Amino acid sequence: MSLPLTSSKHFTLDDAKIAEVARNDPSGFVNRAAGETLIIDEIQKIPELLNYIKINVDRNGERGQYLFTGSANLHFVKAVSDSLAGRVGRVRLRTLSLGEINGASPDFLSAAFERRFPSRIAGCNKRAAISLATCGGYPETIGMDARERRGWFAAYLNDLLMKDVRDITEIRKLDTLRDIAGWLLAHSSKFFETSELAAKSGVSKATVESYISTLKAMFLFDEVRPWSKSDYGRIGKRSKFLASDSALVANILGWTDESIYMDGDMSGKLIETWVHQNLASLADLDMDYEISHYRDSLKREIDFIVERSDGAMLGIEVKSGSSFGAEDFKHLKWFAKNLAKGEFTGIVLYSGEHTLRFGEGFYAVPLAALGA
């Protein structure tokens, strides 16, 4: 949504003095000058401001009058939807992508559709990729050592699960919710049956599905839906669930860089989760892209399908290591021949340095290209 306004003013309700002013004079606090965007951080701390904002928005149809930032508190999200229905748009603020951390332009998806890859790019061998994935994209943890980071993530997850959802009536067993979150982290990018999770957690399948929906609503996990030729074709096919940031997986589960490096299953799950968080961050910048996965009854699988609105497609396979061959392109080439609706580019992301071509439209591309 374009913002035609020319100036802005920023307040954070983390500041006790500003919060006191907002509570004592909410109507005056939300008043804004003509042509000004009023930015209110942590607005969920004083939700009664929404009523006064609604009055102002109804009086003035100018777009971009207010910008709210805050946590994924579920009660507050509902309050915003109820109070400002039809008047507000929501933008998900993801953790930092590799490009943002590197100070590079968010160009990977557009470059990939143009088949424009660096011929050589260093700096992301397997150990480096694991380190990047365990650090993740939370700004607060960049620069922390491993011990500090584990402590930060433990406190972060505890606050989200034990504070932000404790007043939600549907969530009665917070310890079970935490167990389910741990299960999903351990199975990030892997297929699983909710009935199996229900049996292990001792609750019904319906309860498990409700808890997973809550964890998604809190932006702890992303659901990657199955690709199909039509929406009807998705029915009965399984989604994949991935942690919204790979650092959640490594730090909450207590994985070390060395243990990940030595365990193919760990490294595979972690790097695939990390790649998805980068792809999703780029896709969120442009509503032109949709991310899904492919899997069929003959066990042909593609980690990610990125489809552009004009029908052009990327198929992306993720390898944590540097060894690969023509076999790794087999499912990509089958998909291109049999199912692709438009121009198809097949990519194997790997932890090497050189871009290599495996036939027309098929490339092995260094993981480092995600942040180039």
Q: Would residue 163 count as lying in a domain?
A: yes
**Which range marks the domain in which residue 208 is found?**
98-371
Is pTM beyond 0.75? Reply is: yes
Q: How many domains does one find in the chain?
A: 2
Co-location of 241 and 361 in the same domain: yes
Co-location of 263 and 314 in the same domain: yes
Q: Would residue 2 count as lying in a domain?
A: no
The last residue of a domain, from among 83, 107, 134:
83
Q: Would residue 336 count as lying in a domain?
A: yes
The gap between the terminal CA atoms of the chain, to the nearest Å, is 27
Torsion over CA of 298, 300, 301 and 307, rounded to 10 degrees? -110
Task: Take residue 319 and report the two structure tokens written for it.
Answer: 């390898």
Q: Cα dihedral sign for 69, 147, 248, 177?
A: negative
Q: Would residue 332 count as lying in a domain?
A: yes
Co-location of 37 and 155 in the same domain: no
The last residue of a domain, from among 83, 114, 147:
83
Q: Which of 137, 336, 119 is nearest to 245 (CA)?
A: 137
Co-location of 176 and 228 in the same domain: yes
Co-location of 168 and 197 in the same domain: yes
The predicted structure's pLDDT at residue 212: 93
Q: Would residue 59 count as lying in a domain?
A: yes
Q: Is 183 helix (H, G, I), strand (E, B) or coil?
A: helix
Q: Would residue 89 count as lying in a domain?
A: no
The predicted structure's pLDDT at residue 320: 92
Give strand ranges (E) for the chain.
Answer: 7-12, 36-41, 66-69, 221-224, 240-243, 289-295, 301-308, 313-318, 344-350, 356-357, 362-366
Asked if residues 47 and 21 have their Cβ atoms less than 8 Å apart, the reply is: no
Co-location of 137 and 49 in the same domain: no
**Which residues have CB under 8 Å from 335's CB, separation 6+?**
294, 300, 302, 305, 315, 344, 346
Q: What is the pLDDT along the chain (372 residues), one digit of tens a residue?
A: 444 556 889 999 989 999 999 999 999 999 988 889 999 998 888 888 988 998 888 888 788 899 988 765 555 666 666 667 777 777 788 999 999 999 988 889 999 999 999 999 988 999 999 999 999 999 999 989 999 999 999 999 988 887 766 645 456 677 888 999 999 999 999 999 999 999 988 899 998 998 999 899 889 999 999 998 876 666 668 999 999 999 999 999 999 999 999 999 999 999 999 999 999 999 988 778 999 999 999 999 999 999 999 999 999 999 998 888 999 999 999 999 999 988 999 999 999 999 999 999 999 999 999 998
Co-location of 200 and 111 in the same domain: yes
Q: Would residue 279 count as lying in a domain?
A: yes
CA 84 to chain centre: 25
Co-location of 15 and 129 in the same domain: no
Co-location of 141 and 277 in the same domain: yes
Q: Would residue 157 count as lying in a domain?
A: yes
Co-location of 273 and 312 in the same domain: yes
Co-location of 122 and 175 in the same domain: yes
Co-location of 166 and 313 in the same domain: yes
